[in-house]
Amino acid sequence: MKLFYRLGYYLVGFSLGLIILTFVFSGKKTTCNYGPEARVIRDLAKKKVVIAPLVKELYPNFDSLAYHQALQKASVNFGASTRGLDSCKTYQLQAYWQEKPILLQVLNCEKTVTLESLNFH
């Protein structure tokens, strides 16, 4: 079989596969979170948020909605995080709130995320 025909068959099959995948995954909420940062942020976003009383006192406008908005463009500082624990892991996030850079320290437990501190930097 000539190379040109092989390439044609390959492209036809590949195109049909892409079309089928487009129809299969079009209605589903599929994501590709392969990196460790994306997985941590996705895990923090899907759990119930508890804001520490000190953070509520210092920043009364920072609620769970503001937390989720800040989390959308956050990055995880793994060097300042303690993730080797069996129970709850502590993560330090660099994010933005009201267009100002902030540092969030969160305690990630099995079912909840506790916002322990919020600092502007």
For tokens 């994501």, the residue is 31
Q: Would you state the pLDDT for residue 96?
A: 92
**What is the reported pTM?**
0.72
What confidence tens digit (pLDDT) does each residue in 65-121 have?
999 999 998 999 988 888 776 788 999 999 998 889 999 999 999 899 999 999 987
Q: Would you state the pLDDT for residue 86?
A: 73
Percent of the chain, pLDDT > 90? 63
Please state, in angstroms and rounded to a whole number, the distance separating the CA atoms of residues 106 and 98: 19
Q: Give the side-chain half-sphere CA count within 13 A for 111.
A: 0
Percent of the chain, pLDDT > 70? 95
